[in-house]
Structure 1
Amino acid sequence: RIYDLGARKFVVSRIGQIGCTPVSVVRTPYSQKCNEDINQKVKHYSNKLPGKLQELQTQLSHSHFINLDNYNFNQQIRNSPENFGFKYIFDSCVQGRKPCANRNEYYFFDFAHPTEATNKIYANECFSGTQLCLPYNILKLIHAN
């Protein structure tokens, strides 16, 4: 329907590793940080998305699709949080009524939602980077014919 209204450029997000959100981590046995059962189900969907986007691009003339690869970018941040400025990957900034003072060091603001710092990393990377939005970033999408 949105295509019929004139839209030709789309950014479609894979689902991130929701098994690593604080709400999932607190429900996971102590032996692991993330709930990998949840992550495997998400990964199953996420792995199918690029092929579906390619099909749509073929079917809808003059359309362009970007795959925002949340799942794999989440993994990069988890593997090297310090490279992104994070100290706390599995904890939420809000531990009661007030948010923490150092919220830029947290990946999660509450039990499920990312902090402003996290969103800024994602926005910058998808706009002009090379690792999150594939096959090209939004800056290149703007200039696509």
Structure 2
Amino acid sequence: RLYDLGARKVVVTAIGQIGCIPYELSRLSRNGSECVGNINRAVQMFNAGLRNLVTRFNRRLPDACFVFFNSYFAFQDLLDNSGYY
């Protein structure tokens, strides 16, 4: 629909690490601070499908530019290298 309305440059953002948000930590984390792996694995599977969808859009709509921003790994980098930020 966005394409039909004239959108040609679109950024599609991945879902972040939902298993690390406070609500999920309080509900499902073993110690209240460790991210919930099952949720984050499901998010990674969803994001992989989303990335494939962006690739398909770029193939099918050559006059458009869809960009996939992987916020999941951007956040992981922030966690892993917090001293650099």
The TM-score normalised by the length of structure 2 is 0.89
The runs of 5 or more residues in structure 2 that have no matched partner are none
Q: Which runs of 4+ in 1 moved over 2 A?
A: none
What residue number does 1:72 align with?
73
Q: Does residue 56 in structure 1 map to residue 57 in structure 2?
A: yes
More helix by share: 2
Task: Please give the alpha-carbon distance, in whole angstroms, between the structure 2 residues aligned to 1:61 and 1:34.
Answer: 39
The correspondence of residues 93-108 of structure 1 with structure 2, limited to 5 A, is: none
Q: Alpha-carbon deviation of 1:53?
A: 0.6
Q: Does residue 35 in structure 1 map to residue 36 in structure 2?
A: yes
Task: Please give the alpha-carbon distance, in whole angstroms, between the structure 1 residues aligned to 2:31 and 2:51.
Answer: 34
Q: Alpha-carbon deviation of 1:29?
A: 0.9
What residue number does 2:18 align with?
18
The TM-score normalised by the length of structure 1 is 0.54
Can you list the C-alpha shifts for 1:103-130, whole angstroms capped at 9, x where unaligned? xxxxxxxxxxxxxxxxxxxxxxxxxxxx
Can you list the C-alpha shifts for 1:90-109, whole angstroms capped at 9, x where unaligned? xxxxxxxxxxxxxxxxxxxx
Percent of residue pairs bearing the same amino acid type:
32
- Cα contact 2:25–2:32 (8 A) shared by 1: no
Instruction: Using CA pairs under 8 Å that are at least 6 residues apart, name the structure with larger relative contact order, 1 or 2.
Output: 2
Q: Secondary structure at the match of 1:65?
A: strand
The runs of 5 or more residues in structure 1 that have no matched partner are 85-145
Larger radius of gyration: 1
